[in-house]
Amino acid sequence: MPPEHVQFASEARRQLLEQLYAPGRLRGGLLFGSLRDGVLDVLLASPSGFPWWYADADATVLTVDERYAFGWSDCVAAVHGEQVDWQGNWIAYPNSSLPDIREDLTWLHLGASQGLFDGCHILVVVGWDKGTLAGRAYSFDAGESQALECNLGKMS
């Protein structure tokens, strides 16, 4: 069952807040969690690697070093068990604010064309909204973008 609702554990929120407190460049990374009954619980939000890894002109915020991603996946599985796995990616803009929704969809379509986003693997765009951590989440299934409910508050 594809996710309909995305919620973040305190550790994932902390990791995203750390990224928002360091504005200046487009940032992104990996989301790890588990999906059950249409609810994606995000437990960890890692960076995508070290910034100097992505000096290549062809690299984008969605570019992730495979070795880095596999390393994170192995660590997460060792600590949390096999029910926790890579569930998608996150993006934060240089000014740490939420951008126009059309920019989100540009990244979603680019990531979908690269095989990153589908009905089960999502994109979350995070930023400040009136001084509060906020985000928008999307899946991409059968050629269509789908907005998901995104809760960056405490998990219920």
Say which CATH number the domain at 57 has: 3.40.140.10
C-alpha–C-alpha distance, residues 98 and 67, integer Å = 30
**Residue 58 belongs to a domain:** yes
Q: Which amino acid is at 16?
A: L
Domain residues for the domain of 129 are 5-151
Within-domain flag for 117: yes
At residue 54, φ and ψ (nearest 5 deg) are -115, 35
Number of domains composing the chain: 1
pLDDT value for 156: 47
The DSSP symbol for 119 reads: S
Give every CB contact of residue 32 below 8 A, 6+ residues apart in sequence.
42, 43, 44, 45, 46, 72, 73, 76, 80, 84, 85, 86, 87
The predicted model scores a pTM of 0.89
pLDDT on residue 50: 66
CA–CA distances in Å: residue 45 to residues 7, 11, 37, 86, 135 = 12, 8, 21, 10, 13
Q: Nearest CA to 131 among 23, 19, 20?
A: 20
In a domain, 83, yes or no: yes
Q: 156 lies in a domain? A: no
Tell which wins on pLDDT, 75 or 103: 103
Percent of the chain residues past pLDDT 70, beyond the cut: 91
